[in-house]
Amino acid sequence: MARQIVGAHGHGHRKEVDPLEFEPQDQFQQRLKNLGEIAGLGHVAYPRKFVWTHTAKEVGDQFGERTAEQLTAEPVEVRAAGRIVALRPHGKAAFAHIAGGGGRLQIYVRQDVVGEETYKLFRLLDLGDIVGVSGHLFRTKTNELSVKVEKIELLSKALLPLPEKWHGLADIEQRYRRRYLDLIVNQGAREIFIRRAQIIREIRRFFDARGYSEVETPMMHPILGGATARPFVTHHNTFDMDLYLRIAPELYLKRLVVGGIDRVYEINRNFRNEGIDAIHQPEFTMLEFYQAYSDYLELMDMTEELFRGLAEKVTGSAQIKYGEQTIDFARFERLSMREAIVKYWPSAAGAAPTVAELSAEGGPGRVAGRFHTYARAHGIDSVANGTKLSDGELTGELFETIAEAHLVQPTFIYDFPTAISPLSKQKADDPSVTERFELFVAGMELANGFSELNDPFDQERRFRAQVEKGGQEAPKEVDMEYIRALAHGLPPTAGEGVGIDRLVMLLTDSHAIREVVLFPLLRAESPDAAADDASSQGSSGGSDSGGKAK
RNA sequence: AGGGGCGUAGCUCAGUGGUAGAGCAGCGGCCUUUUAAGCCGAAGGUCGUGGGUUCGAUCCCCACCGCCCCUACCA
């Protein structure tokens, strides 16, 4: 078939397409024509500067209280720039709204005020164009503060139209791919990212005020470490070496504490080559901070202070609304992991285990067995029933299965099993658990902190155990340079990581991580792939698409 | 990865086994206090892609592509 030939040679041709031939073509051409006519009137198509006195938002902020009489008695002149986001022409006059600085401002353009020439220009403007206006403020019949435009000029042409005005940009994929449109059209989207910036600013303020230094440590790691996760691998050409995109900055930050930076933090991306869902993105932002001469108990107190302060500063209250729930950052519960299992043990599963039972050797296995029997009978997800799992791993499994989803109000779960905490220090009176906690809010893990393991011998043993255990997420080799740093002496130190994206979700009442990440990862957009693929597997004979391996 | 849903005009969506409609946007006309401005007119579509069944497919079937939701792993 001819189609196949075209398909086979199609790739080269597509590159030849004029890059400015965007859909919708007819509107694009129309706007291009308008731009040409504007230039024909003697205007510069893309001028260089517009001197302004107020943003659209500032006009409302500063003069929102002025009455019509006040504005007449004491005229206010403004120069403002922004994007035309609404346009209501009425023949020889028109109303429009321009957006700027996060606010909107109505402008009123009359031919008898601006003159015929300027009005001709105005009529060539399209929705989405960026303009500068100057004029005096007044109030309309409906009492809306507006600019009676005396001068208007085009500052930049929108050759493509804005999204539909009622529904805005509803297509979720387009909202993420073309986030700029989302930001123009959806006020809520804009607010989320303004607030995200505010949250990060407050976090910096919090740590800076406590004598911390902010640092940036490598994003590309020769040896994987600091967490258990599947990595992205990349390659450096000159050194001809494979590198991992970091899964955690932990081991570098602790080197800095060894180096005498006693209080250090980093806010940056981690990369994990794992699933994508409502609370996971392959790259996500973590705050990690380390404080020498401190322990996990102190961190829990500090974390409470940080979260309460953020909620208050950002939302105005320590009690925040999250979906149907109200989450109270003024009160944090604290439960050991074993206590949480006991507390949330379902009554239908028979008598709850005791902390003592969970602490006993082989205890978690017996408890998991009981839960498994119950889950089987009720068709509920059970704990991993592997016989290979250690007591500590089973305890972690039991916690996640039984308790985690219940932790809506801020709750610290502490004393994590040593088996699942390779970087934290064991408790003095019970080596089966470590001085480690995680903070859960709305069923999500938000923070993870512990007293750092600083005994190089113990650390090396635990690293080796991880490597020997194997598995996709285990480190492949022991980071001996890190052990060497510990051998120089790491002070008793407490460290913690906080998932910034999830924190922003909470404080913006967002229920998908992609709502709080400006450009979340999506599958590459390739409209060609489908056609090419399909045409190569075309004929009815049914060669089952040998074409592309997946 | 498994299960479910969706893909029709630039946008938001109807719809039918006989190759399509509305609102908005855009275009032409009227309109000097509107805010989903209004009124009149015309235009706009390889119905995601490819194949199959059929006299005939946008609709039925299969495959593929993409997105969304749920479930499993990870923060």
Tell me, in Å, how far CA of A88 is from C1' of B39? 14
Residue nearest to nucleotide B24 (CA to C1'): A164
pLDDT at position A485 is 97
pLDDT score, position A527: 39
Q: Does position A29 have pLDDT exceeding 60, yes or no?
A: yes
Q: Taking 50 as the threshold, does the pLDDT of residue A2 lie above it?
A: no
A76: pLDDT strictly greater than 90:
yes
Which are the contacts of A339, defined by CB distance < 8 A and separation ≥ 6? Answer: A355
Please give residues of chain A from 21 to 50 whose alpha-adjacent beta carbon (CB) lies under 7 Å from any atom of strand B: 23-24, 26-27, 30, 34
Largest CA distance in chain A: 91
Give pLDDT tens digits for A438-483: 999 998 899 999 999 999 999 999 999 888 887 777 778 899 999 9
| Non-local CB neighbours of A150 within 8 Å, separated by 6+ positions | A113, A114, A134, A135, A136
Q: Which segment of A70-79, A270-279, A428-437 scores lowest on mean pLDDT?
A: A270-279
Residues of A (371-400) placing their beta carbon closer than 7 angstroms to any atom of strand B are 381, 384, 400
Protein-to-nucleotide distance from the CA of A89 to the C1' of B44, whole angstroms? 23
pLDDT at A540 > cutoff 60: no
pLDDT for position A387: 57
**Using CA atoms, how far apart are residues A550 and A543, in angstroms rounded to an integer?**
16
User: At residue A388, does pLDDT exceed 80?
Assistant: no
Q: Calculate mean pLDDT across residues A80-100.
A: 94
Mean pLDDT, rounded, of chain A = 86
Question: What is the rounded CA–CA span in Å between residue A490 and residue A101?
Answer: 48
pLDDT tens digits, A486-506: 999 999 999 999 999 999 999
Does A288 score more than 50 pLDDT? Answer: yes
Higher-confidence residue: A152 or A535? A152
Q: How high is the pLDDT of residue A449? A: 96
By C-alpha to C1' distance, B70 is nearest to: A277
Mean pLDDT of A347-372: 90
Per-residue confidence (pLDDT) for residue A310, from 0 to 100: 97
Tokens of A407: 């932790």
Report the pLDDT averaged over residues A360-380.
85
Rounded Cα distance between A138 and A148, Å, is 7
What gap in Å lies between CA A195 and CA A506, rounded to an integer?
A: 11
More confident residue, A188 or A380: A188
User: Which residues are CB-contacts of A238 (< 8 A; sequence separation ≥ 6)?
Assistant: none
Residue A530 in this model has a pLDDT that exceeds 90: no
Q: What pLDDT does residue A183 have?
A: 87
> Residue A21's pLDDT is what?
61
Q: Is the pLDDT of residue A542 over 80?
A: no
pLDDT confidence bin for A532, thresholds 50/70/90: very low
Average of pLDDT values for A526-538?
Answer: 35
| A170-174, A192-196, A273-277, A435-439: least confident range | A170-174
For A138-162, what is the mean pLDDT? 94
CB A232 within 8 A of CB A271: yes
Nearest nucleotide to A444 by CA–C1' distance? B75
Of A residues 334-373, those with CB within 7 angstroms of nucleic strand B are none
Is the distance from CB of A98 to CB of A104 less than 8 angstroms? yes
pLDDT confidence tier of residue A339, bands split at 50, 70 and 90: very high
Predicted local confidence at residue A175, as pLDDT: 84
pLDDT band at A277 (very low <50, low <70, confident <90, very high): confident
Q: Which nucleotides of B are covered by protein (CB under 7 A)?
A: 1, 9-13, 23-27, 30-38, 44, 48-52, 63-75
A227 pLDDT above the threshold of 60: yes
Q: Name the more confident of A520 and A210.
A: A210
Q: How confident is the model at residue A4 (pLDDT cuts 50, 70, 90)?
A: very low
Distance A15 CA to B64 C1' (A): 24
Pairing mode, strands A213-214 and A263-271: parallel
Does the pLDDT value for residue A411 go beyond 50?
yes
Of residues A400 and A491, the one with the higher pLDDT is A491
The reported pLDDT for the residue numbered A528 is 39
Residue type, A20: L
pLDDT value, residue A378? 75
Provide the pLDDT confidence category of residue A536 given band limits of 50, 70 and 90.
very low
Burial of A412 (0-12, 13-18, 19+ CB in 10 A): buried
* Residue A356 reports pLDDT greater than 50: yes
Strongest mean pLDDT among A147-161, A200-214, A261-275, A320-334: A200-214
